[in-house]
Structure 1
Amino acid sequence: MTSAPDDLIASHLAHSRAAMERAADDAAMLASAGRIAATIVAALSAGRKLLIVGNGGSAADAQHIAAEIVGRYRQERPAYAAIALTTDTSALTAIGNDYGFDHVFARQVEGLGVSGDVLLAISTSGRSPSILNALRKARERGLMTVGFTGTKGLAMGELCDELLVAPSDDTPLIQQIHLATAHGICETVEAALMQGEP
């Protein structure tokens, strides 16, 4: 006998609530989020930019985060520089065709990234070749490297100056924690940068 749709929804919401409570109580994750916010503030204050990459749902998160930084999160303020490298279909398809999908982000980092920029790389598994290659290229070019992953993605930390680990191994829950934490980071970044505005 299958579960009723409302039972499945309630179950998902209950699992989501438990995951968010774990995240809210995870001192290491919160400290990492604070350091990531400070890294982004320092880069944007110095006239650098935030580049963001991810696949699938994490690609959508990359776009969402970039929009919050360029547009606004809560306050009316100047635009800040953030680019989701997941959105240019001509670049993605040309690079994918000519170099292979594993290089769709690394090639863009090579062309757009400069020393002092920040690369935010989102991978729930921590094992996506396209994400790892982007982090390697960012390291070569002198970018600060920041990762978002889940509990099975700790190896990604070898390529990251700072790694945020959502306390879950379930992809949808990891994605929810990533976006909620990103919202907190966006609010922190916005508030910090606004303090420096005339």
Structure 2
Amino acid sequence: MFVKQQADELIQAVTYVKENLADKVEELAAKVVEAFKRGNKVILMGNGGSAADAQHIAAEFVGRFKKERPSLPALALNTNSSTLTAIGNDYSYDVVFSRQIDGFAKEGDVVIGISTSGNSKNVYLALGMAKRKGCFTAAFLGKDGGTIKDICDLPLIVNVKDTPHIQACHIFMAHCMCDLVDQAY
């Protein structure tokens, strides 16, 4: 019964995405395609499971998703342990992503934060820095979107309470975005 109940709850969460966020996912995919075609990049970040999702999405762009196409410039800011620990030690964990955005982001890049709570301070500060640098900002969020929904250009809020279901919806939306980008090449 437990697995069936969890499946029913996940189906409800994915249905929420279908009914409320499909247009936003397609809008984000279009922004990503525009950025890549202009020679810009996609920068992603998150903590914990969201860090794994950021790394996963970057790999889909740099490698390939479903079809052969040129490698596309994307990076996940949470993958370099030396950078993360140096910034965290010398400054604060709150700025591990914003410091990297300051160094890597250029006007026209797309910066995507991922936070199931919507309240990750380091993601919030990085998106703020990205906006100041002229980047398009988006965020995969959960629950009510937290504070991050107010700082980014395009919040994609999976308005459910269960963190694993939020994360499953985040990767589902990301895969849809990757598929739409593939179709542009």
TM-score by length of structure 2 reads 0.95
**2: distance between equivalents of 1:14 and 1:60?**
25
Within a 5 Å distance, the mapping from 1:1-198 to structure 2 comes to 7-26=1-20, 29-192=21-184, 194=185
State the structure with more CA Rg: 1
The alignment partner of 1:133 has SS state of helix
CA contact (8 A) 2:119 2:146 kept: no
Post-superposition shift, 1:143? 1.0
Task: Kindly provide the CA deviation profile for residues 24-72 of structure 1, in whole angstroms up to 9, marking residues without a partner as x.
Answer: 222xx11111111111111000000000000111000000100111111
CA contact (8 A) 1:145 1:161 kept: yes
Unaligned runs of 5+ in 2: none
The alignment partner of 2:10 has SS state of helix
**1: distance between equivalents of 2:105 and 2:147?**
23
Aligned residues: 185
Task: Kindly provide the CA deviation profile for residues 100-134 of structure 1, in whole angstroms up to 9, marking residues without a partner as x.
Answer: 10000001101111111110011111111100010
Residue identity over aligned pairs, in percent, reads 42
Post-superposition shift, 1:154? 5.0
CA contact (8 A) 1:154 1:165 kept: no
Unaligned runs of 5+ in 1: 1-6
Aligned match of 1:3:
none
**2: distance between equivalents of 1:162 and 1:54?**
16
